[in-house]
Amino acid sequence: MRCRFILLFLFFLSCLPSSIKAKDSSLIVLSFGAFDMNDDKTTGEQRIEYRHGERYLSLFKPFVGFMRTNDDAYYGYLGIGIDLYFGKCKCVVFQPNFAVGIFDDDDYTEGEGLTSGKAGKDLGGGLEFRSGVELAYRFENNMRFGIAFSHISNAGLGDINPGAESLVLTWAVPLDWLEF
């Protein structure tokens, strides 16, 4: 059933070529918001990502990123996203995305206690998967401002699998706009 859904989704996307074709630059994305937002251990989250401007297989844009929480948890990841453009101006961008990476909750002991005194949420393992969506407004200079929701979990590969949800504001700056 899941395979059929994925194939149907990809077929649907292939029927909408005008909605995914728009000039894009590579982006540096800064995000700030809440990590583990539907739990009693909600904390702040900060991310930085590099999103490649070119598509692969005419659809997927790769990205790499790093996330940190205020509880000293860290997540480095690689992933792919699909930018879907809406409106005559193609200024509304919806991006489903998926990533895989390494998560460290800083929950190891050194001597008698924790290294930082505050451990991040234990997600059940180092290998974690992130799936998410982002809705953004793209300005004429290709800068974007939006909101993103994501879920991180180990997909049942660890001893426990509590997962965590994030809700962040995103600000994406095109690299060609920075003019190094």
Q: Percent of the chain, pLDDT > 70?
A: 77
Check: CB of residue 20 under 8 Å from CB of residue 42: no
- The domains of the chain are located at 28-178
Residue 167 in this model has a pLDDT that exceeds 60? yes
Residue type, 146: G
* CA 172 to chain CA centroid, nearest Å: 13
Check: CB of residue 172 under 8 Å from CB of residue 143: yes
Residue with tokens 């809700």: 167
Q: CA-based angle 18:23:26, to the nearest 5?
A: 130
pLDDT tens digits for 40-98? Answer: 789 999 999 999 999 988 899 999 999 999 988 899 999 999 999 999 989 999 999 99
**Rounded average pLDDT over 137-147:** 95
Average model confidence (pLDDT) across the chain = 83
Tokens of 178: 């920075």
28-178 classified as CATH 3.40.190.10: no
pTM: 0.80
* Cα–Cα distance, 143 to 145 (Å, whole number): 7
Confidence band for 109, pLDDT divided at 50, 70 and 90? very low
Question: pLDDT value at position 19?
Answer: 47
Question: pLDDT value at position 6?
Answer: 56
